[in-house]
Structure 1
Amino acid sequence: MHKMVILGAGYAGMSAATSLAARTKRRDDVQIVLVNATERFTERLRLHQTASGQNLAEFDIPALLEGTGVEFVGGWVTGIDAAARTVRIDDERVLEYDTLVYGLGGVADTTAVPGVDDNAYTLNSVHDAELLAQRLAGLGTGTVAVCGSGLTGVETAAELAERYPDLDVVLLGRHEPGSALGARAKAYVNDALARLGVQVRCGVEIVKVLPDTVELAGGESIAVDAVLWTSGVRVSPMAAAAGLAVDEHGRIVTDAALRSVSHPNVYAIGDAAAVEQGYGVMHGTCQSGMPTGVHAAVSIVRELKGKQPKPFRFGYYHTPVSLGRHDAVVQFTKPDNSPRRLRLTGRRAVWYKETVSAAPWPTFGRILEFPTSGAVWPQGGRYTR
């Protein structure tokens, strides 16, 4: 019996689990175990909506996997023994593996600036987003600081400003919102934020977060009633602690087939992996994470058949950005994620973005039914295998 353990049921982990189940359903010599802290699938693409107080659909992981042969194990992973090939869960269970798929994704980096851990909200989970929603619902008026001017910060600031027009929403960051988009798309983002009343402060450095204050370099302080931290990403130190080769950010360094360069029986997927492509190291998104999960599954099945896995190749396709419920911009991109001339704005972009955001969960079902279906993902991105 070949034992395969998948850690994490995010976009990448679920893609790996469903693809492995579909590709091995006629085999009786494999065992697949999926480990996740909760039974609910987290729609990270929509956590900014949860933070604004919107009720979203709930997706049950064990229900989707029913009848597939995948064993779901609920619990937090507390350690990996790469030499013994075991994984330890928080209730002291120990899972043995022959092949490990490591998909424990990233979270907001709350360690780099003093006070963030204690005084800021995050969008690391549904629970964290709901805590912010509860706080905002009880404010009435006041100031909310969204720290981090990347796309998560932009989407959240727009959502909060639209949902709570009596609140002052301040977006703080080092870079101008939409800095990676084309000039016209970036201008559209900034015009939309201005229309919604979001106060944008770019080129600033946050040095400390207090319960009612955000302190900036140079001595300026901003009085706040709530702080959301979206700046920076960190991954679990578990891979490094297990002795796996990691990069300076703690991500597992992989070969061309997504195997750990130090432990070839470990595949790394999603945010947890430092995947090198011709244009550089991939950055963690849904559109890149799901193909890594499928490729890991394809490669594992090839190895079970005595074949060598093929290299992973991926190119980006688009950057969709919601600007509240009634506006959006979609920047189409080259494979290296640099902007093309083509873009969508307004209602067409809203329809496109909503279609993309709704796609991941149904995609898992389609993978189970049609494991060898097309290589262009609803979330965007092109994966060739």
Structure 2
Amino acid sequence: MRVVILGGGYAGLICALRLARRTRGQVAVTLVSASPWFVERIRLHERAAGSEPVKRELAEMVAGTGITLKIGRVTRIDPRGEILLGDERLPFEQLVVALGSHVDLDGVPGVREHAFTLDAASAASLSERLPAIAARRGRVVVVGGGLTGIEGASELAEAHPGLQVTLLYAGELGGNYSEAGREHLRRSLNRLGVTLEQGRVKRLQAGSVELEERSVPFDACLWAGGFVAPELLRQSGLSVNARGQALVDAYLRALGHENIHVIGDAAAPVAPPSPMLMGCKTALPMGVYVAERLSRLSRGQDSEPFDYLDTAFCISLGRRDGLVQPYRQDGSPTGWVFRGRLGAWLKEAICLGVSWTLAAERKGLHFFAWRKTGRKLSPPAAQERRLAA
């Protein structure tokens, strides 16, 4: 079986490592990445604040596993069994799309022209600008009240005490936390000197965020207003949602394409567990599941549907503070949280655990696991019929 995996991020890399080790040469595994470097996206807010990233080459991370690594940008996917990689045509029997997501630069006018993001290159550019802005007590406006925005605002404020940091959000800040979690979040942001403002952004202009009834000036703007999947998925004829994510069935197969699996941020399940948040904590289970499924398929064996239970929400609030919000079985937050230095330690342990997990997978140590709901799902064919109706 020839398996091509597109994307060298969390989902694609762990899928390639697990599949190669499970099949031990019985499956030809090719990993395609636009960059030769593995990017730790869960640490990009630290990079924006000025920390030096630990750069790891994908070639080193897959060395000795039998994986064929190709560096290049995919320009076309033919679902019938071929991708176009530059001038090279790469055939496949099974395709795994793990192309991740990127910050939505076009949903609000002016973002592309006037904002930084926590994508790797932009985060590095912002880190170079911040010392001069902080020296003159300038203002950075962080737009977005989700995980990315909160971590970004906290990290910048702690790393650059002279900086005026404003967190601008539209909905409820910490709406999926318990009361204890929301209280700690606001207290921590206040301790760091982060100003909170609520409002819906109409557009960005040079030096200001334009809201419905006022404008907020800035020396730099960090946009964390949402993520979208690559346009390549739509262009290739896959069924996608409003964010460009491919719709997938209970086996994480693109609807209508049994030879294409989609995992990580690029995937949107149409059956439970649905919806799934974008992020490392969902990318790793999806990558491992598809690797195990393809391994079984290569031996002519069936697989159970993908099952996943979200158990906690982890957030760093600078280097010395954090918040871990556990969830109940029904998805509601518990009334208790891990916070402060303990929360920061747990969050850092989780980040380090991701690196250790990938290193272990390369050596054939398959200890990564996740909690499951245990629910029984209907066959994917029935789900697709309901969706079409």
TM range (shorter): over 0.9
The letter for the 2-side match of 1:172 is L
Q: For residue 110 of structure 2, what is the aligned residue in structure 1?
A: 115
Question: Are residues 1:51 and 2:45 paired?
Answer: no
Question: 1:159 pairs with 155, 158, 165, which one?
Answer: 155
Cα 1:179/1:210, change in 2 over 3 Å: same
Question: C-alpha separation between the residues in 2 aligned to 1:288 and 1:45?
Answer: 13
Question: C-alpha separation between the residues in 1 aligned to 2:374 and 2:108?
Answer: 40
1:328-343 paired onto structure 2 within 5 Å: 328-335=322-329, 337-343=331-337
Retained in 2: the 8 A contact 1:4–1:101?
yes
Question: C-alpha separation between the residues in 2 aligned to 1:254 and 1:198?
Answer: 40
Retained in 1: the 8 A contact 2:180–2:336?
no
Retained in 1: the 8 A contact 2:74–2:83?
yes
Cα 1:303/1:279, change in 2 over 3 Å: closer
Q: For residue 4 of structure 2, what is the aligned residue in structure 1?
A: 5
**Structure 1 residue matching 2:128: 3-state secondary structure:** helix
The letter for the 2-side match of 1:135 is R
Q: For residue 132 of structure 2, what is the aligned residue in structure 1?
A: 138
Question: Are residues 1:326 and 2:320 paired?
Answer: yes
Shift of 1:224: 0.7
Shift of 1:369: 3.2
TM-score, normalised by the number of residues in structure 1: 0.93
Shift of 1:43: 0.8
Question: 1:211 pairs with 206, 210, 221, which one?
Answer: 206
1:97-112 paired onto structure 2 within 5 Å: 97-112=92-107
**Structure 2 residue matching 1:131: 3-state secondary structure:** helix
Q: 5+ unaligned residues in a row in structure 2: which ranges?
A: 376-389
Shift of 1:245: 2.0
The letter for the 2-side match of 1:302 is R
- Which of 248-257 and 262-271 deviates more? 248-257
Q: Map Cα deviations across residues 176-234 of structure 1 (whole Å, 9 max, x no partner).
A: 322211111111001110111100012x011111121111112x111110011101111
Retained in 2: the 8 A contact 1:48–1:123?
yes
Retained in 2: the 8 A contact 1:19–1:371?
no
1:258-297 paired onto structure 2 within 5 Å: 258-278=252-272, 280-297=274-291
Shift of 1:54: 0.7
Question: Are residues 1:74 and 2:68 paired?
Answer: no
Q: For residue 184 of structure 2, what is the aligned residue in structure 1?
A: 188
Retained in 1: the 8 A contact 2:62–2:362?
no
Shift of 1:40: 1.4
The letter for the 2-side match of 1:280 is S
Q: For residue 245 of structure 1, what is the aligned residue in structure 2?
A: 239
Cα 1:25/1:38, change in 2 over 3 Å: same
Shift of 1:70: 0.4
Runs of 4+ residues deviating >4 angstroms? 381-385
Aligned length: 373
Q: For residue 380 of structure 2, what is the aligned residue in structure 1?
A: none
Shift of 1:239: 1.4
Question: Are residues 1:168 and 2:167 paired?
Answer: no
Shift of 1:4: 0.8
Q: 5+ unaligned residues in a row in structure 1: which ranges?
A: none
Q: Map Cα deviations across residues 35-63 of structure 1 (whole Å, 9 max, x no partner).
A: 11112111111100000001132222110
Cα 1:183/1:312, change in 2 over 3 Å: same
Question: 2:293 pairs with 283, 296, 299, which one?
Answer: 299
Question: Are residues 1:312 and 2:309 paired?
Answer: no
Retained in 2: the 8 A contact 1:114–1:208?
yes
Cα 1:383/1:295, change in 2 over 3 Å: farther
Retained in 1: the 8 A contact 2:151–2:315?
yes
Shift of 1:308: 2.1
Question: C-alpha separation between the residues in 1 aligned to 2:235 and 2:299?
Answer: 32
**Structure 1 residue matching 2:337: 3-state secondary structure:** strand
Question: 1:366 pairs with 360, 369, 373, which one?
Answer: 360
Question: 2:348 pairs with 354, 368, 371, which one?
Answer: 354
Question: C-alpha separation between the residues in 2 aligned to 1:340 and 1:40?
Answer: 38
Cα 1:201/1:262, change in 2 over 3 Å: same
**Structure 2 residue matching 1:33: 3-state secondary structure:** strand
Cα 1:371/1:305, change in 2 over 3 Å: farther
Question: C-alpha separation between the residues in 1 aligned to 2:273 and 2:29?
Answer: 34
Question: C-alpha separation between the residues in 2 aligned to 1:374 and 1:294?
Answer: 8
Question: C-alpha separation between the residues in 1 aligned to 2:367 and 2:311?
Answer: 18
Cα 1:279/1:86, change in 2 over 3 Å: closer
Question: C-alpha separation between the residues in 2 aligned to 1:279 and 1:86?
Answer: 30
Retained in 1: the 8 A contact 2:35–2:72?
yes
**Structure 2 residue matching 1:180: 3-state secondary structure:** coil
Shift of 1:247: 2.5
